[in-house]
Chain A
Amino acid sequence: MKKLLMSSAATLALAVSAQAADVKVGSVGGITGPIAEIVADVYEGRNLAAKHVNEQGGMFAGDTLVMVPGDGACDPKAAVDAATKVVNVDQVVAIVGASCSGETNAMVQAVTIPAGVVNVSDSATAPSITDLADNDLVFRIAPSDAYQGYALADYVLKSGVTKVALTYSNDDYNAGLGKVFEKAFQEKGGTITSAQVHEPNKASYRAEVQTLSGGEPEALVLFAYYGSSGISITRNALETGSFTKFFGADGMINEETIKQIGAENLQDAAYTTPGADDTTASYTAYAALASAGGLRNAFGPYVPNGYDATFLMALAIEKAGAPDRTKIAAALREVANAPGEVILPGEWEKAKALIAAGTDINYQGVSGEIEFDAKGDVSGVYTLNTVTPEGTFKTVLLK
């Protein structure tokens, strides 16, 4: 008994000393709320990056990188509350997140900018975040929506379709994307037979689909989250025989879409997502690490971005030399932007050694090369996702 007590006391002492050397980073996002399923996968990506850091020597002289979760629920009120906690109670050095644009917008303006804490969002894409007066504290490695709308418009035209009907869900993400697509497609010479906004979470969209099918469009371009309206609209379109060809974006990419619609009905569907260039060394390195790490959906929407955001944040803190909030922003640009020795995902030990030696490094992410511009934005890489007859998504790079 005495032995047991002593050993547990020893473990406790160990635990306490380990805790004293924690480097805490907030991990805020929409864990609950409208896109909970997507965010769950993104958190796996973030946690995998933290695991790689800790397995290969950790931060500084062996400190542990700890990701402190905060549930922003894709709701500005919850996000401000969650960020207040991680910034003040947990005293995090910096924040990875948040997920949704409105959530991120409120979080950075109400909490992190006044407190002087750097944040890197892995999936907030609203253009309004670019121009915030942020004292150079707000970064993101999800490209602004403006780029994806153009990429998809290009692809639709290249695939020989020139007349489409367009509908988008009335939420911050899909509506923004829809508007950019509408403009881009027409600029490039395509015709939009009808464009319609729809409210998510309705029981049936037959009336909308009927209207959209007027004017002989060749395909339906649909920007929606699969759970709230995407699946219903696709189903109604197929049932009424109005459309067989579909284009869309990341909101639709989920196994549930295939499960509910049936792979055989989606052979003419294609969805874009900010993704990863599979010809790069970063991609290969990450793919191997992700499968070893047991990620359920390693290339799901914003999962590579989640990995990159976390890994990059760890590099920046290491580069700053101390868990000091004021030094992270400058360090973030140094480790992400060229020039410098190239660091691939998972190469923490190498990066740590180079930083210690004072060599400049340049992290090449899975989601792109990650070169921050003056506003803390990146330009993106997109992938195209199609459905195989076996009922899985096939991902190829969009060029």
Chain B
Amino acid sequence: MDGYALYVVGLLTAGGIYAILALALNLQWGFTGLFNAGIAGFFAVGAYVSVILTAPESPTIIGGYGLPLVVGCGAAMIASGLVAWGIGRVCIRLRSDYLAIATIGIAEILRLVFKNESWATNGPRGIAGIPKAFEWVPYPWNQVAFLGMVLATVLVIYLALETAWRSPWGRVMTAIRDSEAAAKASGKDVERFRLESFILGAAIMGLGGAYFAQYLKYFGPETSDPTSVTFLVWVMLIMGGSGNNRGAVLGALLLWAIWSATELLTSMLPPDWAVRSAYLRIFLIGLVLQVVLQRYSKGILPETRPAVVGTSTRAGATTGNAT
């Protein structure tokens, strides 16, 4: 296969996994208005759980059961969901900014636990030799197959969220986001809906973590660093358009492409510039973000309300947009 094509495969794989994370955040923030600033925590839970179940036996980590990857992914989702349930029971009542503080704290606690409990996770040394889906396929088609799996997952999650968005369940979510008091007055169990959204989003984030661990074939505490997970996913969603599933996917792919491809430009500079050009690249990324956010303040693809069946004659179908 051509080199550029293989690069695009790598680019889309990482971008696709970020799209999974951005979709999950869209469910929590775009739909329900839950300010989850602890994405990295759920990401790490998913990754470590799947690695411990699927990796071959090793003296450096617990587990190493060598189970099938599907089991690992499923367990990652369940574990992240359970962690979210525990957190949600305590914190979900908090208003958005307080929830943000609580989730940041919990994500940090999780990261430090994974980093310090060396008997279980090999601590800061990380875990190498993680099995990856489709490794038995000859190179480079194994990379393509893995990409296919990631993109199929993105598609499934996207379709599921689109359906949810149009369903009564999705409408309750946006109602809660826009006015909690009004939703409560209509007899909706606000807390339960918020908890559902939080758990579901966290489970998808866990799946993202499991995929990333497979893709890198290595996972350590530095992989779930908040800047390159939590912060980046937030920027992707805000840039793409919060409240819009297509926007979440677009934002993830676009930002990752900018992040990655700017290096192709800066690496053309003379080698003596190598050290400086890396920082030039970070500057470029910041600049692009600024321009995009200035130009499209609601994201590139802003939220659009699905038309309500049977009320298409009324103009009210588009009222109540988020402000």
Contact = CB atoms under 8 A, between A and B. Distances in A.
B246 interface: no
Contacts of A132: 128-129
Nearest to A197: B116
Contacts of B126: 76, 101-102, 105, 128, 172
Contact of A102 (B4, B222, B277, B282): B222
B267 interface: yes
Given A71-B278, A89-B264, A106-B217, A84 B7 contact: yes
B271 A172 contact: no
B83 interface: no
Contacts of A50: 271
A146 interface: no
A126 to B, nearest CB: 6
A347 interface: no
A197 B4 CA distance: 45
A184 B60 CA distance: 20
Chain A residues touching B, majority SS: helix
B136 interface: no
Interface string B131-147: 01000000110110000
Contact of A110 (B3, B217, B279): B217
Contacts of B11: 81, 84
B302 interface: no
Contact of B7 (A68, A85, A109): A85
Contacts of B215: 80, 110
Contacts of A74: 222
Contact of A80 (B14, B140, B267, B277): B14
Interface in B54-69: 60
Given A128-B125, A170-B116, A172-B124, A69 B274 contact: yes
Nearest to A41: B275
A130 to B, nearest CB: 11
B217 A69 contact: no
Contacts of B281: 71
Contacts of A129: 128
B10 interface: yes
Contacts of A133: 129
B303 interface: no
B120 to A, nearest CB: 15
Given A75-B223, A102-B218, A67 B263 contact: no
A77 B14 contact: yes
Contact of A176 (B125, B140, B277, B282): B125
Nearest to A175: B124
B212 interface: yes
Contacts of B278: 31-32, 69, 71, 73
Given A70-B267, A105-B128, A114-B139, A88 B274 contact: no
B274 A170 contact: no
Listed from nearest, the 4 A-B pairs whose CB atoms lie closest are A69-B274, A84-B10, A109-B217, A31-B278
Given A76-B220, A81-B263, A199-B112, 7 more contacts: A69-B267, A69-B278, A70-B267, A84-B11, A106-B217, A128-B125, A172-B222
10 contacts: A27-B274, A74-B222, A77-B14, A88-B6, A90-B267, A102-B218, A114-B139, A172-B222, A175-B123, A175-B125
